[in-house]
Structure 1
Amino acid sequence: MIPPKEAIEKAILQVSDKVKERIQQFKNLKQKGITTFDFKPFLDVQPYQADIFSEACFCILTANFKAATGIKIQAEVGIEGFKNYPLEKLYQIIQSHGHRFAMQRAERIVALRDLKEFLENIVKEKDGKKAREKLVEKVNGYGYKEASHFLRNVGFDDVAIIDRHISRFLFESGLVKPRKTITKKVYLECEEALEKICQDLNLTQSELDLYIFYIKTGKVLK
Structure 2
Amino acid sequence: MKQILSELNKLKKSNIKKIVDSRISEFEKLGRGNNKTLFKELCFCLLTANFQAEKSIEIQKVIGDRFVTLSELQLAKKLRALGHRFPNVRAKYIVQARKHKDNLRNVLKKFENSFELREWIVKNVKGIGYKEASHFLRNIGYKDLAILDFHIIDILVECGLVERPKTITPKQYLEIEKGLDLLGTKSRLNQAELDLYLWYLETGKIFK
Tell me what 1:5 maps to: 5
| Alignment check: 8 A CA contact 1:128 1:157 kept | no
Paired-residue identity, %: 42
Spell out, residue by residue over 1:97-122, the C-alpha distance to the aligned partner (whole angstroms, 9 max, x if none).
Answer: 32221111011111111111342223
TM-score normalised over the length of structure 1: 0.87
Q: Which position in structure 1 is the counterpart of 2:115?
A: 129
CA deviation after TM superposition for structure 1 residue 2, in Å: 7.9
Task: Count residues with an aligned counterpart.
Answer: 206
AA aligned opposite 1:96: A
Distance 1:2 1:190, change over 3 A: same
Once residues 20 and 83 of structure 2 are traced to their aligned partners in structure 1, the CA distance between those partners, rounded to angstroms, is 28
Partner of residue 82, structure 1: 67
SS at the partner of 2:101?
helix
Mapped pair 1:116 → 2:101:
yes
Corresponding residue for 1:46?
none
User: Does 2:150 match 1:164?
Assistant: yes
The letter of the residue matching 2:81 is S
Where is the helix percentage greater, Structure 1 or Structure 2? 2
Change beyond 3 A, Cα 1:76–1:198: same
TM (normalized to structure 2)?
0.92
User: Matched residues in 2 for 1:150 and 1:121: separation?
Assistant: 16
State whether structure 2 residue 197 is matched by structure 1 residue 192.
no
Match of 1:45 in 2: none
Cα pair distance change 1:122/1:212, threshold 3 Å:
farther
Counterpart mapping for 1:1-222 below 5 A: 3-12=3-12, 13-33=14-34, 51-78=37-64, 80-124=65-109, 125-222=111-208
Unpaired segments ≥5 residues, structure 2? none
1:132–1:144 CA contact under 8 A, matched in 2: yes
Q: Which moved more, 1:207-216 or 1:111-120?
A: 111-120
Name the aligned partner's letter for residue 149 of structure 2: D
User: Deviation at 1:221?
Assistant: 0.4
**Which stretch has the larger CA shift, 68-77 or 165-174?**
165-174
Cα distance per residue 1:135-189 (max 9 Å; x no partner): 1110100111111111111111111111111111111221111111111222112
Q: Give the Å deviation of 1:194.
A: 1.3
4+ residue stretches of structure 1 with deviation over 6 A? none
Q: Give distance in 2, aligned partners of 1:96 and 1:10.
A: 42
How big is the shift at 1:90? 1.6
Q: RMSD across aligned C-alpha pairs, in angstroms?
A: 1.8
Paired AA for residue 72 in structure 2: L
